[in-house]
Amino acid sequence: MHTENFDSSEFVCHCGKCCHSVPHSHLVSEKLMIALQIARNRYGYPIFITSGRRCIAHNKRVGGVWNSYHVQGLAADVRGDNMLRLFDTLCSVNDFLYLEPHDNYIHVDIGRVRTHRINDKRTVINHAS
């Protein structure tokens, strides 16, 4: 699976040992890739995938929650050159059901609707470049 600006190779597990460490068509949800492409088109600049699909072992090593949508190919951590603008753009894409800004990346997923679509415990404004 690929879109104009994203390819499944960008979503491989970084452990380098599991079956998700090589690109394949079912690595990541097509809906997630399309939502990221919509965001890229609106943002107008590259969006970099810092973490995509993870195996259970790698997810645990990086401190991911036990039921992480990364393990299912329904989430990505992304960054861009202007994190505040990127965050605003990601918020405008309705297919992202959850967004969570961190110091160096923004988590997006299409997993399930939560009470709050945006985790506001942290703010990308404090980390905008």
The pLDDT of residue 129 is: 42
pLDDT at 104 over 80: yes
Give the model confidence (pLDDT) of 8-29 as tens digits. Answer: 999 999 999 999 999 888 899 9
CA distance 103 to 82: 13
Task: Give residue 122's pLDDT band: very low, low, confident or very high (50, 70, 90).
Answer: low
The pLDDT of residue 117 is: 85
Q: How many C-beta atoms lie closer than 10 Å to residue 83's C-beta?
A: 22
Tell me the C-alpha to C-alpha distance, in Å, between residue 123 and each of 4, 21, 102: 30, 31, 7
The pLDDT of residue 58 is: 96
